């Protein structure tokens, strides 16, 4: 009830003040970090299950903080989203990832692709993102279909019509769209109807207990079959063991991502991996 909420609020007020101070401090640090180039991208291989080749990677943001060490996105993305700084940060991710992709395609793997995460708030808040991004791709002479945008269903839940329109504009320009963390939200299925998505990423929570869990075996097989009937390719996330890989491949899963194939790594390491595979 409201009454209860108010009591709780006043009881924890001092703590919340502390949290508020921490948030402001974090925002200040984020802005400084962006200006001082403390952010970097790691890349996690996405493997074609049938051939075993690294055909794609997901760009994952890291913050090399001078005092706190390497921070993962969960530690700062929420604050960046709340403040609107996610727009500048997201633009940086987009430019850095695509610059790197153009280099890899040029030097090692002409058909290599990249996935970037785009948060609902980012899409909601960016005024010009779509056209700016398309211009940028053109400057890099990068085919728009070499890039996948990973979104969660929050794009529709939190966002408005304009946000949905931006998604459609990206797809219209040829970028691919992946529905991230599939199965964890409550509108995943209706989303499939409303958006012509290209990939569905089965959330790690459905993969981690494979192949022992009978429920998860059934769910994964059903998701893969359904996606394929809708013309959508499937990426399994969080594949950590050979048994999980074998089971999912056996079910016709198209791509795998997880520690079994490789942890997120810096650009140089992924470049070396691509060059080694190209030489095989």
Footprint (CB under 6 A) of ligand C2E, residues 41-100: 44, 60-61, 72-74, 77, 93
The yes or no reply on residue 181 touching Ca ion (CB under 5 A) is yes
Specify the residue, 108 or 178, whose C-beta has the smaller distance to Ca ion.
178
Nearer to ligand C2E, 86 or 192 (CB): 86
Q: Which stretch binds Ca ion (CB under 5 A): 85-93, 160-168, 173-181, 219-227?
A: 173-181
5's contact among Ca ion, ligand C2E, none, with CB below 5 to 8 A by partner kind, is none
* Contact flag: residue 259 with ligand C2E (CB under 6 A): yes
**Nearest CA to 12 among 24, 2, 23, 20?**
20
How many chain residues bind Ca ion (CB under 5 A)?
5
Distance CA 204, CA 184 (A): 10
Per-residue contact flags (x/-) with ligand C2E for residues 206 to 245, judged by CB under 6 A: --------------------------------x-x-----
CB of 149 to ligand C2E, least distance (A): 10
Write a three-state SS string for the chain: CHHHHHHHHHHCHHHHHHHHHHHHHHHHHHHHHHHCCCEEEEEEEEEECCCCCEEEEEEEEEEEECCCEEECHHHCHHHHHHHCCHHHHHHHHHHHHHHHHHHHHHHCCCCCEEEEECCHHHHHHCCCHHHHHHHHHHHCCCCHHHEEEEECCHHHHCCCHHHHHHHHHHHHCCCEEEEEEECCCCCHHHHHHHCCCCEEEECHHHCCCCCCCHHHHHHHHHHHHHHHHCCCEEEECCCCCHHHHHHHHHCCCCEECCCCCCCCECHHHHHHHHHHHHCC
Candidate list 29, 113, 153, 180; residue touching ligand C2E; CB under 6 A:
180
The mark string for 110-129 relative to ligand C2E (x by CB under 6 A, - otherwise) is -------x-x--x-------
CB of 180 to Ca ion, least distance (A): 4
Nearer to Ca ion, 139 or 205 (CB): 205
| Binding-residue pattern over the window 129 to 168 for ligand C2E, x denoting contact by CB under 6 A | ---------------------x------------------
Residues making contact with Ca ion (CB under 5 A): 117, 150, 180-181, 237
């Amino acid at each position: 009830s409201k009454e209860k909420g108010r009591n709780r609020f006043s009881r924890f007020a001092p703590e919340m003040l502390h949290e508020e101070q921490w948030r402001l401090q974090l925002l200040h640090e984020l802005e400084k970090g962006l200006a001082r180039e403390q952010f970097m991208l790691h890349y996690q291989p996405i493997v074609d299950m049938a051939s075993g080749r690294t055909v794609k990677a997901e760009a994952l943001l890291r913050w090399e903080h001078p005092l706190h060490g390497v921070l993962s996105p969960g530690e700062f993305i929420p604050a960046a989203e709340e403040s609107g700084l996610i727009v500048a940060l997201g633009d940086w991710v987009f430019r850095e990832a695509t610059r790197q992709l153009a280099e890899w395609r040029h030097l090692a793997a002409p058909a290599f692709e990249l996935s970037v995460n785009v948060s609902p708030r980012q899409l909601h808040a960016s005024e010009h993102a779509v056209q700016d991004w398309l211009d940028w791709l053109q400057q890099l002479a990068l085919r728009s279909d070499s890039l996948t945008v990973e979104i969660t269903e929050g794009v529709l839940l939190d966002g408005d019509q304009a946000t949905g329109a931006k998604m459609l504009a990206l797809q219209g320009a040829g970028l691919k769209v992946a529905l991230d963390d599939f199965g964890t939200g409550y509108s995943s299925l209706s989303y499939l109807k409303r958006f012509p998505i290209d990939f569905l990423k089965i959330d790690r929570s459905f993969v981690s207990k494979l192949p022992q869990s009978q429920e998860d075996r059934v769910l994964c097989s059903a998701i893969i079959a359904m996606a394929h009937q809708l013309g959508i390719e499937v990426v399994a996330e969080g594949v950590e063991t050979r048994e999980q890989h074998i089971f999912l491949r056996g079910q016709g899963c198209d791509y795998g991502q997880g520690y079994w194939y490789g942890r997120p790594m810096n650009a140089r390491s992924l470049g070396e991996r691509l060059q080694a595979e190209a030489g095989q």
